[in-house]
Amino acid sequence: MAIEVKVPVLGESVAEATIGEWLKKPGEAVAADEPIASLETDKVAVEVPSPVAGFMGDYLVQVGDTVEVGAAIATINDQGGASSGAASAPAAFAPAPAAAPAPATAPAAGNGDVAGDQSLSPSVRRAVLEHGIDPASVKGTGKDGRLTKEDVVAAAQAKKDTPGASTSAPAVAAAPASSGGGERLEERVKMTRLRQTIAKRLKSAQETAALLTTFNDVDMSAVIAAREAYKDVFAKKHNIKLGFMSFFAKAACLALKDVPAVNARMEGDEIIYHKYVDLSVAVSAPNGLVVPVVRNVESMSFAEIEQAIAGFGKKAKEGALTMADMSGGTFTISNGGVFGSLMSTPIINPPQSAVLGLHRIDERPVAVNGQVVIRPMMYMALSYDHRIIDGREAVTALKIMKDAIEDPMRLLIDL
């Protein structure tokens, strides 16, 4: 008997989602509660579990389709044997006879498909096409062994480092050769729901808020020395590395306590001041930048902050962040330094009023006590909504953070 698989409740105020990828092919065995599909909502990817054990049946919708909560998206045959869906599915996804493995299905020339690409997320598929990597030759490190974008990039780098290896990408949509020789390739990919939402929110922030950014630089010597001195005992005691983010989170809490407007939001003609710090930490996920929330950071230890951030980073990589993980947030820290950024003007995450941008650490000559010395320096940027925060308040908040990082003892004595 065929059982319908329906879109589950996605979270408060979320009524629809987009089919991101199918995790099971028609005819494959499915366990009860095993994920069969991934949905992309405005904020996160949500996996749809099978309601029963059986075999994957028909796809009732396709990748990229928009579906509402409660809509049927597929069927599961809960009886023994292959489902009826296997017979009607495309040949590339039909189950192979037990006596022999199924032959690989080659992509049609010029259509941009990758063999088996139905099991790849859009970002992974783009990476496969861009780097010319055979996905079957790469071992996935994602959830349930699925291929991630990082796996493809690593395989491409290894291929490039191999003498004589070809790095040409498969044809996507070859245009006629130009007079200069060679093909000019293009690929058209529909924006994911997450990317569309990011675009709308960022543009809305620019159009609504009175955005301004103030900068400062910070000498990282003291924090680097503290990490070097205590990293081993810290890791041994707490089973987590001591990173920079916990120092900046603590420094931000000091600043937000002294300058509450930086930790506020506007609602109509009122300003709501938060007496707590729910810190949105921007992390990179396969489908884009996401900002899970570490709650009540003002009352957390260094180890608790590091563990929370590491946990969110792992969930983001696996595509396992939930709507609850993403909701709320009173202040954001975004670390572009991990990607090599020297300086930027981050955009606030509405309805928050400010965001702290961190950047790479460079050794630079600075004047200290009348002498030119080389110090590890970082530029910090605080973007803020000038409707709520005055320039004096923004500069003061950033200066408090700078002073706390340059003299970490301030973090211990709340100064």
Residues annotated as part of the active site: 386, 390
Q: Report the C-alpha gap between 93 and 83 in whole angstroms.
A: 13
Q: Which residues contact 97 (CB under 8 A, 6 or more apart)?
A: none
Q: Which residues contact 366 (CB under 8 A, 6 or more apart)?
A: 219, 372, 373, 374, 375, 377
Q: Report the b/e string of 316-350 with b at 16+ CB within 10 A.
A: bbbbbbebebbeebbbbbbbbbeeebeebebbbbe
Helix 391-406 / helix 244-258 crossing angle, nearest 10 deg: 140
Look up residue 286 and give its two tokens.
């396969």
Q: Name beta bridge partners: 56.
A: 76
Q: What are phi and psi of 26, to 5 degrees?
A: -55, 130
Contact 363, 231 (CB under 8 A): no
Q: Name beta bridge partners: 270.
A: 267
Q: Report the C-alpha gap between 257 and 273 in whole angstroms.
A: 10
Contact 376, 363 (CB under 8 A): yes
